[in-house]
Amino acid sequence: MATERTTPMFDRRAREHLFARRILVLDGPLDDDNGTLLLTQMLTLAAEDARADIALWIHSPGGSVPSMLAIRDVMNLIPCEVATLALGLACSAGQFLLSSGTPGRRYAMPHARVLMHQGSAGIGGSAVEVEVQAHDLRHTVETVLGLIAADTGQPYERVYEDSLHDRWFTAPQALEYGFVDHVVESFDQVIPQRHRFGLTPAGWGRLPGDDGPGADGDA
């Protein structure tokens, strides 16, 4: 039986268009591949302009813990402010990256949902291997929950208890818990500011060299 193939609407060209405006998007599960892409894109944008903001838009069911920790490290390393936005879903690793944004610059759309949990990891092998894996898992869980506690301002003990089972948050609840700083009310809140060119909000969409139609020979 033939299988229909659909062309993804959010393709490479759309991503490149947003990248040019300093907007990165985590859509779908976070894995080693798109995680590496996101962190290298952040480093590239920071090298291009250390003062201009970067936006990370999130619509994700979660994914790789090493990737999310690596992205967070880069977010803290670069001099740019990184504004995060939950578009629809910010689950697990998505929640972690959402709350890792620059304080005061973390947003959720009004009907976005946020999920926090500890996740899971398969442990197997010999008794010694199981012990080593269990120790590593404990270290990872303590590290992640400690960072979430620091980002949200919640006590570690509360974060630990709340993460033992799936804990869903509406946008207002995510705001109250400390995952985000604002529930989006206006368009201006989600567009990166381009300090370098001194543009007003009305000019944020313009790029260097955008002098109007036909500036580069285009129709």
Catalytic annotation present for 163: no
DSSP secondary structure letter of residue 102:
P
Q: Give the three-class secondary structure for 172.
A: helix
Residue-level length of the chain: 219
Residues 15, 10: Cα–Cα separation, whole Å:
7
- Please provide the distance, in angstroms rounded to a whole number, between the alpha carbons at the two ends of the chain: 44
Nearest alpha-carbon partner for 158 in 174, 146, 168, 140: 146
Catalytic residue among 60, 92, 99, 163: 92
Nearest alpha-carbon partner for 59 in 103, 111, 119, 19: 111
Neighbours of 84 (CB within 10 A): 27
Residues 135, 113: Cα–Cα separation, whole Å:
32
- Is 93 within 8 Å of 67 (Cβ atoms)? yes
What single letter denotes the amino acid at residue 93? Answer: A
Q: Which residues pair with 23 in a beta bridge?
A: 55
Catalytic annotation present for 117: yes
Residues 48, 185: Cα–Cα separation, whole Å:
30
Catalytic residues: 92, 117
